[in-house]
Amino acid sequence: MASPVAAQAGKLLRTLALRPRFLAAGSQAVQLTSRRWLNLQEYQSKKLMSDNGVRVQRFFVADTANEALEAAKRLNAKEIVLKAQILAGGRGKGVFNSGLKGGVHLTKDPNVVGQLAKQMIGYNLATKQTPKEGVKVNKVMVAEALDISRETYLAILMDRSCNGPVLVGSPQGGVDIEEVAASNPELIFKEQIDIFEGIKDSQAQRMAENLGFIGPLKSQAADQITKLYNLFLKIDATQVEVNPFGETPEGQVVCFDAKINFDDNAEFRQKDIFAMDDKSENEPIENEAAKYDLKYIGLDGNIACFVNGAGLAMATCDIIFLNGGKPANFLDLGGGVKEAQVYQAFKLLTADPKVEAILVNIFGGIVNCAIIANGITKACRELELKVPLVVRLEGTFMEKKGSYMHIKQETGNSNGNITGIQENVTHQNLSKCAISIFLC
């Protein structure tokens, strides 16, 4: 049976839509539990690429229509391509709430760039990969357009099933790669790379050939693939996707689009890259949570979930679904939290007006139950909690200072409204009790 949360968590899928989903057949659960990866805008990715010998078009970035017009003039190109900068793909076929169709436009006239940019900047662009209402465009890329004689697909990613990096390519690029994978799986080529040995020239050449590059274009494509792989490794990327990876009638292999995701665990050694993180597309509450090193995911039900660990988060959401409830969100404490973070977590959870009850489900390991209990009591006291609270603590220091009793007494002091310790909490009695603490 499909996990109910997998069916429900559209919001999560939005974050994950940025990854080529067709590659992860059967591993949706794994993807759902992954942390958010840092994503850069196309112009930022292309800057990294061009700094590392990968061929991209000349471009400028603009955040006003006037700047876009000036950039178009300065480019002094035969043709210009104007591209809305949002983190989701499918921009070419997207629609703006200004009425403008297409997030990617080609024109020979710089004045048209100015007019189009006016209908892009400040408006929402909706694509297949964005929420229905779209994502606000704050910047546009103004680039020198090149003729494209052939569009292929190339990606490099860390793949669990390969236990390391894999090159994925298709001679049918430009289009929706998921569709190619579904209708013509024989047109998807993979090349597993040994991370210790690095990419072999024979592998890059074979991929170039599979992508349909011939003659001198083959070794040029192989050279670009090698440079892309070396960049992937150097910047601790989890994914580099180029669609289209194209060729021009003049015989050049060019990366026309770029999407790079990063491993958040590498932040400490990729400071420059992480400093580029554009948080403007995040929900404000997600940014607020990130400040305290908490992971917040908004969903559309009414029960707030306060958990530690992505696996427990998923299981908790499933339990809520299976009992007829719907999670309003979940907040993942992660490991090694302090009391103050527990307090902040409660503040975030209760700020959501949809929340009608809070379920705390914590497995105490490194985060021990006493820390959580102290954090909860502080939060209950100071935030004057108005909604029912159900707490389950299990694991390290479960009994310390009588963690449960502690919560019970302290929270009881704040509103005197405890219904007592309940052994079994169901969706039905959840709404009736002010504060329930149940033991396992």
Is 257 marked within a binding site? yes
Q: Which of 50, 131, 51 is nearest to 87 (CA)?
A: 131
Partner in contact with 405, chosen from Mn ion, ligand GDP, none, beta carbon below 5 to 8 Å by kind? none
Is 243 marked within a binding site? yes
CB of 173 to ligand GDP, least distance (A): 8
7 near 34, Cβ under 8 Å?
Answer: no
Is 365 marked within a binding site? yes
Contacts of 190 (CB under 8 A, 6+ apart): 162, 166, 167, 168, 169
**Which among 43, 153, 229, 292 is annotated as catalytic?**
153
Which of 69/146 has CB closer to ligand GDP? 146
Residue nearest to Mn ion (CB): 257
Residue ranges in contact with ligand GDP by CB under 6 A: 57, 81, 83, 89-92, 104, 106, 145-148, 151, 174, 243-244, 256-257
370 near 416, Cβ under 8 Å?
Answer: no
Is 367 marked within a binding site? yes
Partner in contact with 147, chosen from Mn ion, ligand GDP, none, beta carbon below 5 to 8 Å by kind? ligand GDP
Is 76 marked within a binding site? no
CB of 333 to ligand GDP, least distance (A): 35
CA 282 to chain centre: 9
Which of 113/435 has CB closer to ligand GDP? 113
**Which among 42, 67, 151, 241 is annotated as catalytic?**
241
Partner in contact with 341, chosen from Mn ion, ligand GDP, none, beta carbon below 5 to 8 Å by kind? none
CB of 216 to ligand GDP, least distance (A): 21
Is 146 marked within a binding site? yes
Which of 175/387 has CB closer to ligand GDP? 175
Which of 251/365 has CB closer to ligand GDP? 251
86 near 281, Cβ under 8 Å?
Answer: yes
Peptide bond into 244 cis (omega under 30): yes
Is 308 marked within a binding site? yes
Which of 129/329 has CB closer to ligand GDP? 129
Round to whole Å and give the CA distance between 379 and 394.
20
CB of 102 to ligand GDP, least distance (A): 9
Which of 223/257 has CB closer to Mn ion? 257
Sign of CA dihedral 292, 297, 302, 304: negative
Residue ranges in contact with Mn ion by CB under 5 A: 243, 257
Partner in contact with 172, chosen from Mn ion, ligand GDP, none, beta carbon below 5 to 8 Å by kind? none
435 near 410, Cβ under 8 Å?
Answer: no
Partner in contact with 174, chosen from ligand GDP, Mn ion, none, beta carbon below 5 to 8 Å by kind? ligand GDP
Is 153 one of the catalytic residues? yes
Which residues fall in the annotated binding site for GTP? Answer: 57, 90-92, 146
Which residues fall in the annotated binding site for substrate? Answer: 308, 365-367
Just list the catalytic residues: 153, 241
Which residues fall in the annotated binding site for Mg(2+)? Answer: 243, 257
